[in-house]
Amino acid sequence: MTSVVGPELLALIGKTAAPQTQLVTRRDICKYSVATSQRQRKYLDGDEAPPMFHVALFWPVLPLEELSDNGVAIDPMFPDIPGRRPMAGGLKVAFQRPLKPGDELTATRTLTNIYSKLGSNGSLVFVEVTMNVVDAAGELVLTEKTTRIMK
């Protein structure tokens, strides 16, 4: 089988987005906890952020007309591959410690892998982006690997 991943796509591996810094607030933790039906007091009181809180923390706030057809921001870290439709492929998160109110977090995202596999209906292209989040002291707080499948 010939790979559908050519040199122009492979050349994108290692591309890194500009770092983003956000402040974790007790109020944001409380709002997220209520919205996601958390039950533990430490989350509802805002003492600690629930496990997936960080996902939306670094998303841009955009007007509706700037969102994609499926209602999310267009993520420039994932290349557009003509003729292929993007699908969620997975999310792996490794926490080093819980997120707390007052944490000033900086996220850096890097395109770390592009590869293809043969599926039952043809080739699939997998794109992986790794996000490292550090605190103000530069200590690693979490690592997240997002995989998108281009069908």
DSSP string, 4-15: S--HHHHTTTT-
Q: What would the mean pLDDT of 77-105 be, rounded to a whole number? A: 93
- pLDDT at residue 103, rounded to an integer: 98
Dihedral of CA atoms 142, 137, 33, 131 in degrees, nearest 10, equals -30
Range with the poorest average pLDDT among 16-25, 29-38, 55-64: 55-64
122 pLDDT band, cuts 50/70/90, is: confident
> 85 vs 147, which has greater pLDDT?
147
Cα dist from 134 to 26, 88, 100, 142, whole Å:
19, 25, 13, 7
Closest-CA residue to 141 (of 91, 90, 104, 92): 104
The model's pTM is 0.89
Q: Mean pLDDT throughout 32-55?
A: 97
- 3-class DSSP state for residue 127? strand
- Average pLDDT for residues 92-106, to the nearest whole number? 98
In whole angstroms, give the CA distance from residue 117 to residue 133: 30
CA dist 71 and 68 (Å) reads: 5
> In the structure, what pLDDT confidence band is assigned to residue 76 with cuts at 50, 70 and 90?
confident
Give me the mean pLDDT over the 103-114 stretch: 98
CATH code for the part of the protein at 7-150: 3.10.129.10
Checking if the pLDDT of 63 tops 80, the result is: yes
User: Where does the pLDDT of residue 1 fall: very low under 50, low under 70, confident under 90, or very high at 90 and above?
Assistant: very low
Indicate whether 136 pLDDT > 60: yes
Higher pLDDT, 71 or 46: 46
